Amino acid sequence: MSTLFEPFRLRSLTIPNRVWMSPMCQYSADASGPDIGVPGDWHFAHYGARAVGGTGLIMVEATAVSPEGRISPGDLGIWNDRQSAAFRRITSFLKEQGTVPGVQIAHAGRKASTDAPWRGGAPVDHDAHGWQPVGPSPLPFDEGHPVPDELTVEGIQQVVQDFAAAARRARDAGFEVVEIHGAHGYLIGEFLSPHTNHRTDAYGGSFANRTRFALEVVDAVRAVWPEELPVFFRISATDWLTENPDDEREGWTADDTVRFAADLKAHGVDLLDVSTGGNAPKARIATGPGYQVPFAERVRAEVGLPVGAVGEISEARQSEKIIENRQADAVLIGRELLRDPYFARHAARELGGEVAAPAQYHRAT
């Protein structure tokens, strides 16, 4: 059998194959009214199609732990019971197709209150259902973006509680994996990086202080999440600042990621979902097929923590090679699954693997 289609076990959960769907925001929930942040028909059809397509694990897009934690007014949320109840329709369908449902819980921090990307992604004001962003320090993301309010210690602790409450609701909603979003310049990543964290209290300065908030979130989520089910953490392995030899700006680095991965493992994280960038808008990033895979490979080799690899992974044999070479334990496919919801099924046919097929489709197997 193709290594890409071997099952993968984390705690008591067995994921049927190594083709997983990366979390990708759809910006398609109601922005106001009683259904704010509630998944609807678009989300059911979107995720359901990839489950029918044989994807082993589907990680639902960044889902906000509080209203101000959304990236855009159209983001999904899981801060109330109405939202979690609506997710049950999706998680039940995914499980019926043999897919493991996961959800990424998130807080956008200083990058919050922006429009959908197809409308330009600029900050939105209160008249367009916007709000005031928060962050570790009063540093705007980019020109034209608002200065975020600096979180107080009490505010930080409230966000920690919000993550824990979101994890509880995620389990009630039927999710079997919860992923903490610490990547792409959103709130947790902002605390990690000295580029965005200029605090002088217990949450800023030293490596231990800058990682304190993230580990408090992990501990709070792990405490309420079932012991038998895995917790993932998504990280940007580098800000792509000090990786550029002529760039003197200080940022989060690959070395920091390896060091932090060991802490995450000790605190009960079961897999590191390794991405990069997003925290510095003018960072220079050399992209290409599989360009982020080496960051995942290094964590796996040096820390012994299972990893997922992302970044311009779009072909079946490319995906299988990543698993065969032990660069990662799974591949998280993004844009290719937007282009082809049946990527896993097509890859299985190409590589000689197997995926579950709905009875209605058996005549085509």
User: Which positions are annotated as active-site residues?
Assistant: 186
**Where do we find the tokens 């109840």?**
85
**Where do we find the tokens 């895979």?**
293
Closest CA to 280 of 185, 198, 211: 185
CB atoms within 10 A of CB 315: 15
The C-alpha torsion from 31 through 35 and 38 to 44, rounded to 10°, is: -100
| Encoded tokens for 124 | 């939105």
Give the orientation angle of helix 207-224 with respect to helix 254-266, to 10 degrees: 40
Q: What amino acid is encoded at 118 in this protein?
A: W
Burial tier of 126 (Cβ tally within 10 Å: 0-12, 13-18, 19+): exposed
| Encoded tokens for 253 | 């680095």
* Contact partners, residue 193, CB within 8 Å, separation at least 6: 210, 239, 251, 252, 279
